[in-house]
C-alpha cells in the first residue's frame, strides 16, 4: 500500500489581527492543519502522529517542541481516554530546513508501513523571530505555513515512492543563525541569514542535478513528470542538467490562504519549509492530469542538500 496525500492546506498571517500582534508559528501551522483536516472531513482525534518541520519561529523558541504546542492548538488527542477515537497522540519536531517536508514523508512511510498510525499530519511553518518578516528587508523568507494529511491507500500504484537525499561536495553558502556577539537584548527577535553571491544559481544547478540523478536511479520519464521544485531563486535554469519538464515552483507572489484552502492572498517573501505544500496545491489546482503520469517533489537548501520523492496521486 502506498502513502497518499489526503488533503493539504496553507496559512498566512491574519491581516485582520492588530498590528501589534506578532505572527506565530503555532497559529499559522495550526490553521493550515485545521484547513487540511476540514478538507478531508476527518477529526483531529483520528491523527496518530504529528511531525512539525518548520525552522524559523517567534522569539527563536526551541523548547518546548513546537509540535506539542501545535498538537494542543489543533486538538489532537488531548485526552486519549475521553476522545471519540481513543489513541495516544505523538508529536515531534524534525528540522532539516527546506528538505524537512520530504524528511517527514520518509519517516511517515515507515510509521504507516508498520501500522504505528493510520493517519499522519505534517506541518511546516516559518515566521520571522520578531513576528513580522515585512519589517526586516534582509530576511528572505515568507511568514507561511503548510500542512499535509497522509494516510495509506489501497491502490499499490498510488502514493509516495522512495525518498532520496543528495549532498553537494562543497561548503554551504547559506545559513541562518543567532549572532550571539551582537544580538544584545534584542536577540529573541533577531536572526542573521547569510547567503553568498551566486547562491541562487548554485542551488538551481544542484536541484536540477539531483532531479536528473533521481530520475535515472528510479527510472522515470521527466517529460511525463510534473516537477514541484524550489522557489524561483532556486528553480532549474535552462542550462541545468535535468531534462525539460513542467514546473510548479511556488513564486514569491504565489497564492495561499489564511483559512488553509490554498488560494487567496499573495505570499510576500520566499516560501521555505512550506514550499512543497504550496507547490502541490498549485499543481493540483491548475495542472491537466492527462499531461502527466506522476509528480516529482524536489527540495534543496542549506548543506547544500537536496531531497527528491516521486508521487502518484490516486486516480492518475
Provide the H-helix boundaries in 56-198.
66-74, 100-113
Write down the number of H helices and E strands in the chain.
5, 11
Answer yes or no: do 232 and 246 share one domain: yes
Residue 242 has what pLDDT?
30
Place of cell 561536495: 169
Answer yes or no: do 123 and 40 share one domain: yes
> What is the arithmetic mean of pLDDT over 273-281?
94
Identify the domain boundary among 157, 187, 203: 157
Residue 234 has what pLDDT?
35
| Of 89, 8, 65, 76, the residue nearest 43 (C-alpha) | 76
pTM, rounded to two decimals: 0.84
- Beta carbons of 301 and 97 less than 8 angstroms apart: yes
Q: How many domains does the chain have?
A: 2
Q: What pLDDT digit, counting tens, does each position of 76-123 carry?
A: 988 767 766 656 678 999 989 899 999 999 999 999 988 888 899 999
Domain that holds residue 200: 161-312
CATH of the domain at 202: 3.40.47.10
Q: What pLDDT digit, counting tens, does each position of 28-45 carry?
A: 999 999 999 999 999 998
Answer yes or no: do 131 and 258 share one domain: no
Q: What is the grid cell recorded at 286?
A: 491548475
292: confidence class by pLDDT, cuts 50, 70, 90? confident
Answer yes or no: do 169 and 149 share one domain: no
Q: What is the grid cell recorded at 145?
A: 505555513
Amino acid at each position: 500500500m502506498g502513502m497518499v496525500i489526503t488533503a493539504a492546506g496553507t496559512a498566512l498571517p491574519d491581516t485582520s489581527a492588530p498590528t501589534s500582534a506578532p505572527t506565530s508559528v503555532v497559529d499559522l501551522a495550526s490553521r493550515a492543519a485545521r484547513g487540511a483536516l476540514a478538507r478531508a472531513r476527518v477529526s483531529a482525534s483520528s491523527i496518530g502522529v504529528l511531525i512539525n518541520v518548520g525552522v524559523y519561529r517567534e522569539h527563536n523558541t526551541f523548547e518546548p517542541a513546537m509540535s506539542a504546542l501545535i498538537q494542543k492548538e489543533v486538538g489532537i488527542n488531548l485526552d486519549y481516554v475521553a476522545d471519540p477515537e481513543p489513541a495516544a497522540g505523538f508529536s515531534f519536531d524534525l528540522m532539516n530546513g527546506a528538505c524537512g517536508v520530504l524528511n517527514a514523508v520518509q519517516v511517515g512511510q515507515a510509521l504507516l508501513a508498520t501500522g504505528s498510525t493510520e493517519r499522519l499530519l505534517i506541518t511546516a511553518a516559518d515566521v520571522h523571530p520578531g513576528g513580522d518578516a515585512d519589517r526586516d528587508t534582509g530576511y528572505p523568507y515568507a511568514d507561511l505555513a503548510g500542512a499535509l494529511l497522509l494516510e495509506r491507500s489501497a491502490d499499490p500504484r498510488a502514493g509516495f515512492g522512495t525518498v532520496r537525499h543528495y549532498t553537494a561536495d562543497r561548503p554551504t553558502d547559506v545559513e541562518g543563525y543567532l549572532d550571539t556577539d551582537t544580538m544584545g537584548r534584542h536577540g529573541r527577535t533577531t536572526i542573521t541569514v547569510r547567503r553568498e553571491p551566486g547562491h541562487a544559481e548554485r542551488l538551481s544547478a544542484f536541484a536540477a542535478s539531483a532531479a536528473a540523478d533521481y530520475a535515472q536511479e528510479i527510472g522515470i520519464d521527466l517529460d511525463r513528470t510534473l516537477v514541484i521544485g524550489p522557489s524561483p531563486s532556486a528553480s532549474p535554469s535552462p542550462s541545468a542538467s535535468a531534462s525539460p519538464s513542467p514546473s510548479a515552483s511556488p513564486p514569491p507572489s504565489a497564492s495561499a490562504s489564511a483559512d488553509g484552502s490554498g488560494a487567496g492572498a499573495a505570499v510576500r517573501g520566499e516560501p521555505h519549509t512550506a514550499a512543497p505544500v504550496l507547490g502541490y496545491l498549485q499543481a493540483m489546482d491548475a495542472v491537466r492530469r492527462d499531461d502527466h503520469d506522476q509528480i516529482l517533489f524536489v527540495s534543496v537548501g542549506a548543506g547544500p542538500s537536496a531531497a527528491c520523492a516521486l508521487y502518484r496521486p490516486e486516480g492518475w
